[in-house]
Structure 1
């Protein structure tokens, strides 16, 4: 699937939601169902190019828009502007205008050195104005307020100033609101200028005067350093009309020129921040900048005394200006903008990681991201999945939903989850056992593995001088047995712990657990049978667990035995004998005759001493693993455990998987009571509240309360994970298929131990007969069949399978009364065969067509009661009443599925008419003609294999 992506993955890469991407795909003609559908590489490339082109177009548009702001519209001819301004120049002051005081008269002088040159045709400054001797460029006359840049055609300084241009005149201070540039803005209604001495903040951003009334002159002269740099300072603007209107400036781009009412302040150096009038930036070689002369919006000059315009705080340079409250709020809302999935608002994760356990529910995810579970349910429904808030959700579904709301969902592995649980109680499984002085040698734990019926149990019988195989149902081992025996090596007694694992193919999980729980493996291969499938599987399990392997070639006493052939076959799997230059020990034995057993045990101990350093601390709290568990009628739950480190004692509070309890009694493989068990010692433990699962870890804790809490949390997590693994989701796409009636064989499994029940369940679930039928295991457990099992089976129409267990008296009576079937088995493959046969019997039948005969229509009769009657001659086979037929005319099939509704021979009704006889038929298809051929057939059920 190189190059393929799912819709939600591509949407995350492109920065869009899955719903938007699905809509785009449909617009492009791509047929994609849901956000979890896979997209082919050409479509992925096509979508990336589409969004890249779209993003490029948006960037170009924004760049063009941003360039259009500073860009000034083309200047009109100066002559036109002057003529228009002269025509609109008021002859007398307006009634509300006040004559400026004498002190406000600016000193006449040359224009500022940095001011832009007037366009051709514009009038130059008046030649008679004397230059001030000590004033800096752009500095106002001491004691006089800074005037705004003189309007084109304005009266001389000192003359009464009109408040605003007459209607029809171009408004000099600001462009037309919303205009993108170009034409000058028409003037607004006249507004009187406030009286002097009453300064106020201007609220009209489109006024030519940004301030209120004028302030009195600053006592003692202006600030040292002069006023702001920018046009309009130090004298009136050179004559000439204003050059065209521009785009309405944003609040951040307000011109920095002072208003007529602003108090004098420090003068900036030439080329400062102030906005110039006309075409360029005022105050020296600062580069061109948009803006009108004088008035309009105030810009941020970095000094006191400025008056804020109607858009809030003044603006400044684009790179250093302070953001307005509206801009900050917009950015904050954009950062915390919730995701909207199908109308449901969900929080944006911002790429955060959320850790969830296996089998987590939407309620768990909602608690992690602080939202409502109902919102997640609705959002998931819009994505095509129907899940309830308390229903366990698969890992793929959680990750899909997390990707939509910008969360990275991480599913914690069962090992990490259990480690975190124990750490919350200040516990740790497999913790440091202390220093080397606290460690002692322990016996090796050896797993006996191999193909079924190759002599594994007989080998252990020979070692233990017992006969376990005789008691096994069918002569095969169906559970793990743990034994410890004592042997003598170099005149020194040594102990070895053996695990006998099943060899049948259904017990793969048991063999894997046996390999993980041991230090060394004995691979038993029959010399007369060779390497078989389970032999190869056992080799793979041992290699995966990194176990040293000792090969026992069994049944060498048989005439057809070929030990050398076994050595050659195992060489292909990496097990090279020592005599061939390898490092694997091969021992020829006969478990039945008892020959070679001592050599095998010696080889096991030598391999363990050479390849392994087997030590453990016997003084710490016990830790181990449950090998097998079962429910005993008199003793309750019994679990066979191997202590891996520490010492287990009677009375200890223990937790094993999702079960807890106190050790009431311990017995060894011989049935003798044991008060304590050290490392590598197998014992049967009684006192648990339930039957642990095979492979569950055993841990000694301080008291029963801690054990109960740990077990409760483990049990809840295991049930949730199992529900998520088994539950098949119903999506909107397969809803119709799910609603169709589908045959299911409901089963309830009961067995003598947990490992056998697990193996039987896995074997039954692997049965594949057809898509129409399936096995559904609704319950499983360890122990005898109870009334509760029968009641559940009656309610769900299930069959109870008992594996090496029986039903008690009341359960049997209730099963007979309710009609519940209970099947008992002692060999696993018999149960598998019966269930497979039952599934085949549930399959829908297959029908095939079988030809009956042909008839030719010779004549057609009409009858008012029945319509047209076909007078026919049977030419082949026979025709039957109610049979299906095909009507053929001129070699073409007219109707393929008509039926014979009535059949008569002369005047009598007939069930069938044979070849060579005439008959009359009434067909379900009325359009018949003379010469038509009638082919009759019937559908026959065919048995399915």
Structure 2
């Protein structure tokens, strides 16, 4: 069949249906679409063999490709090829040069070949070889091998029925030498085909000619009328045909590559034949595994059930397999399969088979047995299934960053450190750490501040023990770089006594500030908005005690719940705590909190029971309540001093001060060095319009003098002036002395430590490094871990409604307390609060510009600060809202209400009424009209409705589009009246259905 065969043609040839052929092709792994699809030649051959094997019949052989495998009969003379005259064999000297042959090379015995008296051994049949090879092969190939043997037998039978006569050479000169007989296959290990009694073939001359191709169309190198003659080579038994025109000259033996050694050849292969006398070709080895023919260095005839023989210079092939012989310069192929080809196809194709491919060398050849084109080597084609399987078997690539491994080494990093800082600690390349983080699923740059979790994750992966340095240790290490030691021991001769620092704590409105006012004999409450202390105040008073003028430093802390952090800082810098409890209210929540702060600071407590002058005062109840928290009065056998006081009439003030001094003398040893650089803590700070940043500091060690260079937190500067609580100028301040300091670059935070240094350069460097570390830590905490898993969470946050604020206050402590209180509000997840900026001082133009530049509305909150006229005009022009507050809880309540106002409204269903359908009227214009009677409530036009039938909802989300009373339009119909209505084109209504109407009302949020 010329060209590609179609499925239906193959089905007709095989006598089966097309769907059977399609199913068989699918079993063979070939995916064919329909019966009209074409099938490649090798696939068609496999299909035929598969059907023959399944049916137990021999495969149909192509009539143009008779097999050339030696017959299995015991006749020593080979069967003559059809189409050539029979020539009698005559003896001839083995080394006599052969005369040029005018015709093609004969397949049978060549005339002139010497005849030996010993009979030629019977060659092994193809069937025996097939059986021997099938035992060593897999079971999957057995069916195809048996089919190939049967095809070869059928071809030999056809060859016997149509003998071909051979013609003698045209001239009477030198006759071609005898062609060696069929070579016996060397015994294979474990093969039953091994015949010990079979003698090896005797030496003979090289064959003098080659048989012509069966058809010109099957040999691309042949020409009609036979091939041209070639002068006989020296030592050759006969002539060989010339190479086709345009082919390069045949390589000489000297230019050939060295003969491969037996060690380099594949195991269990039959060895090539020895050279015969008179320059005869070395006979090819016996047939090998099915599909591969024999052949030697200069190949003799091949054999076996597979492809034909062939070698370095291939001789004639044979066998019943698919491929013909072929070698380096291919000899003729044979058999029922495709003709062979060599590396350089020099010889003609074998008789019969389909055009076969030459070796993968220079020059083209006929199409191969598997349909691949000859010529230049190409990459093998793979099926889609094979490519998919190879892709699935691919393993993920692994990237090695080259980062060192720690083996448990401890690495100390500051909070918010970057990968570059980590790389400096372990002497690694920052890029390698970035790659390691990417392999772990984290997207981090080399200079980005990393959170603690990210650093711990990377350290655990690399084998390092990451220890995050606390802010206190970090600050201590920073100061150590400048040879400053805050914890250095001081000699006793340098220590002097100092005043006790007393902090007043208690619940809101229990009279703390009034008590301090009574002690100071100054009205400090009048300046506080709403009578609530907004920030910490530090004062020093002088009290006569035992004939001495003793100084006592008082620190007033807010009692509102928002000032928890400020109370905690006040407890950390104090020596004694005065716990103020109102005699009428008793112990309150902030009272317990202040008590816990004092216990955590491990400072002695003096309880002042205030407001004892009120009629409903019960001091004994206060003593009993505090007993539950571990404060037992002295009259009850405890160690805590309780003093009954009344701030307004001034009752018990002297007893309270005496109790404070007695506690300080009995329980504390209050000393501090008076010389050396000053150290202390910032109590509060604010921005003054005329004086700049003003900080209230408490000196704890040394002496602070005007003109000293100090650093407080991230602020630094030179002390331009010092003021006491009354506004008087001071030249120096010793330990336990609170003063107001002017000259800092910015207001420090409440609770920041300050120290004096030798020069401005040192304090500036310390302040800059503190700012950088705080900024890095803040960025790391706000950013968190940027992982692939948090992408959806970030997208969801983008859909939330947010309230953006800018906080400005008079002192840093108040701003911090307001921010903490706002973030502690209980708000739904649909809204979020963002603080874009915070600061101390008046509202400035930069705050308004930041608010106007934001993509969302921003509100500026001013706490005890105002904006100038110019700033207010700019805010009005830009549409920025500014709110002012003087009491912190008022700001918290209004902001909480604003957050709830940002929530999307929630709606609930409110039932209006129901109507029963009493009749249905048909209208060609508007559809069905329901005649109803209102059973309850009202029926309103354009209201939402649902249709009920037998108590089940038939249709929902309907709309009453028209409503009429008789012929008049109506907006609503009340209970007990009849009406006609339509449901917006919905016509599936029946008599007895109930129509319920409702509306969606906004739900009030609690």
- Shorter-chain TM-score: which interval? 0.5 to 0.7
Preserved CA contact (<8 Å) 1:455 1:554: yes
Preserved CA contact (<8 Å) 1:906 1:920: no
Given the alignment of the two structures, is residue 812 of structure 1 paired with residue 872 of structure 2, yes or no? yes
Within the candidate set 602, 619, 622, 2:678 is matched to: 622
Shift of 1:879: 2.8
TM-score (normalised: structure 2): 0.58
Match of 1:742 in 2: 800
User: Structure 1 pair 913/706, CA: closer, same or farther in 2 (3 Å)?
Assistant: same
Within the candidate set 831, 835, 840, 1:773 is matched to: 831
Match of 1:584 in 2: 640
Match of 2:501 in 1: 445
Given the alignment of the two structures, is residue 855 of structure 1 paired with residue 911 of structure 2, yes or no? no
Structure 1: distance between partners of 2:645 and 2:268: 113
Within the candidate set 768, 772, 785, 1:716 is matched to: 772
Structure 2: distance between partners of 1:910 and 1:388: 70
Structure 1: distance between partners of 2:414 and 2:455: 11
Given the alignment of the two structures, is residue 395 of structure 1 paired with residue 452 of structure 2, yes or no? yes
Match of 1:760 in 2: 818
Shift of 1:379: 6.5
Structure 1: distance between partners of 2:548 and 2:634: 26
Partner SS state of residue 912, structure 2:
strand
Given the alignment of the two structures, is residue 356 of structure 1 paired with residue 413 of structure 2, yes or no? yes
Within the candidate set 697, 712, 724, 1:656 is matched to: 712
Within the candidate set 421, 426, 436, 2:478 is matched to: 421
Shift of 1:533: 1.3
Q: How does 1:600-619 map to 2 (within 5 A)?
A: 600-619=656-675
Given the alignment of the two structures, is residue 681 of structure 1 paired with residue 681 of structure 2, yes or no? no
Within the candidate set 527, 543, 546, 2:602 is matched to: 546
Preserved CA contact (<8 Å) 1:878 1:912: yes
Q: How does 1:250-289 map to 2 (within 5 A)?
A: none
Deviations for 1:769-795, whole angstroms, at most 9, x for unmatched residues? 322223211111111111111122223
Deviations for 1:204-253, whole angstroms, at most 9, x for unmatched residues? xxxxxxxxxxxxxxxxxxxxxxxxxxxxxxxxxxxxxxxxxxxxxxxxxx
Q: Which structure ranks higher in relative contact order (CA pairs < 8 Å, sequence separation ≥ 6)?
A: 1
Structure 2: distance between partners of 1:383 and 1:861: 72
User: Structure 1 pair 924/389, CA: closer, same or farther in 2 (3 Å)?
Assistant: farther
Match of 2:130 in 1: none
TM-score (normalised: structure 1): 0.61
Structure 2: distance between partners of 1:919 and 1:683: 87
Shift of 1:357: 2.2
Match of 2:936 in 1: 876
Shift of 1:602: 2.0
Structure 1: distance between partners of 2:503 and 2:466: 40
Shift of 1:932: 3.4
Structure 2: distance between partners of 1:343 and 1:884: 63
Q: In terms of Rg, which structure is larger?
A: 2
Partner SS state of residue 540, structure 1:
helix
Preserved CA contact (<8 Å) 1:624 1:645: yes
User: Structure 1 pair 928/371, CA: closer, same or farther in 2 (3 Å)?
Assistant: farther
Deviations for 1:833-873, whole angstroms, at most 9, x for unmatched residues? 11111122222212111112223445556656555554544
Deviations for 1:456-509, whole angstroms, at most 9, x for unmatched residues? 222222222211112111112111111111222221222111111111111111
Structure 1: distance between partners of 2:585 and 2:679: 40
Partner SS state of residue 882, structure 1:
coil
User: Structure 1 pair 458/876, CA: closer, same or farther in 2 (3 Å)?
Assistant: closer
Q: How does 1:265-344 map to 2 (within 5 A)?
A: none
Shift of 1:450: 1.3
Structure 1: distance between partners of 2:1001 and 2:441: 42
Unaligned stretches of 5+ residues in structure 2 = 1-188, 190-194, 197-260, 273-395
Within the candidate set 494, 499, 520, 2:550 is matched to: 494
Partner SS state of residue 960, structure 2:
strand
Given the alignment of the two structures, is residue 939 of structure 1 paired with residue 997 of structure 2, yes or no? no
Within the candidate set 886, 893, 904, 1:826 is matched to: 886
Preserved CA contact (<8 Å) 2:403 2:433: no
Deviations for 1:391-434, whole angstroms, at most 9, x for unmatched residues? 5443234323443444433222111111111112221223222x
Given the alignment of the two structures, is residue 666 of structure 1 paired with residue 727 of structure 2, yes or no? no
Partner SS state of residue 513, structure 2:
helix
Match of 2:566 in 1: 510
Partner SS state of residue 530, structure 2:
helix
User: Structure 1 pair 898/386, CA: closer, same or farther in 2 (3 Å)?
Assistant: farther
Preserved CA contact (<8 Å) 1:464 1:485: yes
Partner SS state of residue 769, structure 1:
coil
Shift of 1:352: 3.7
Within the candidate set 508, 519, 528, 2:584 is matched to: 528
Given the alignment of the two structures, is residue 556 of structure 1 paired with residue 616 of structure 2, yes or no? no
Structure 1: distance between partners of 2:985 and 2:713: 70
Q: How does 1:128-207 map to 2 (within 5 A)?
A: none
Deviations for 1:241-284, whole angstroms, at most 9, x for unmatched residues? xxxxxxxxxxxxxxxxxxxxxxxxxxxxxxxxxxxxxxxxxxxx
After the TM superposition, which of the residue ranges 569-578 and 618-627 deviates more from structure 2? 569-578
User: Structure 1 pair 424/343, CA: closer, same or farther in 2 (3 Å)?
Assistant: same
Partner SS state of residue 730, structure 2:
coil
Preserved CA contact (<8 Å) 2:806 2:838: yes
Deviations for 1:320-345, whole angstroms, at most 9, x for unmatched residues? xxxxxxxxxxxxxxxxxxxx999684
Partner SS state of residue 813, structure 1:
helix
User: Structure 1 pair 774/873, CA: closer, same or farther in 2 (3 Å)?
Assistant: same
Deviations for 1:149-201, whole angstroms, at most 9, x for unmatched residues? xxxxxxxxxxxxxxxxx989xx9xxxx99xxxxxxx989999xxxxxxxxxxx
Shift of 1:369: 5.7
User: Structure 1 pair 525/922, CA: closer, same or farther in 2 (3 Å)?
Assistant: closer
Structure 2: distance between partners of 1:830 and 1:416: 39
After the TM superposition, which of the residue ranges 666-675 and 551-560 deviates more from structure 2? 551-560
Structure 2: distance between partners of 1:919 and 1:366: 83
Shift of 1:358: 2.1
Partner SS state of residue 536, structure 1:
helix
Preserved CA contact (<8 Å) 1:900 1:923: yes
Structure 2: distance between partners of 1:454 and 1:527: 9
Deviations for 1:738-790, whole angstroms, at most 9, x for unmatched residues? 43421211111111111111111111111113222232111111111111111
Preserved CA contact (<8 Å) 2:539 2:554: yes
Partner SS state of residue 504, structure 2:
strand
Partner SS state of residue 875, structure 2:
helix
Match of 1:214 in 2: none
Partner SS state of residue 711, structure 1:
helix
Partner SS state of residue 918, structure 1:
strand
Structure 2: distance between partners of 1:783 and 1:707: 23
Structure 2: distance between partners of 1:618 and 1:465: 29
User: Structure 1 pair 372/595, CA: closer, same or farther in 2 (3 Å)?
Assistant: same
Structure 2: distance between partners of 1:750 and 1:380: 39
Match of 2:906 in 1: 846
Partner SS state of residue 630, structure 1:
strand
Match of 2:981 in 1: 920
Shift of 1:693: 0.1
Preserved CA contact (<8 Å) 1:363 1:390: yes
Within the candidate set 440, 449, 467, 1:410 is matched to: 467
Structure 2: distance between partners of 1:386 and 1:341: 19
User: Structure 1 pair 424/341, CA: closer, same or farther in 2 (3 Å)?
Assistant: farther
Match of 1:45 in 2: none
Match of 1:91 in 2: none
Shift of 1:616: 1.2
Unaligned stretches of 5+ residues in structure 1 = 1-80, 82-86, 89-165, 178-184, 191-339
Match of 2:62 in 1: none
Partner SS state of residue 709, structure 1:
helix
Preserved CA contact (<8 Å) 2:403 2:429: no
Partner SS state of residue 470, structure 1:
coil
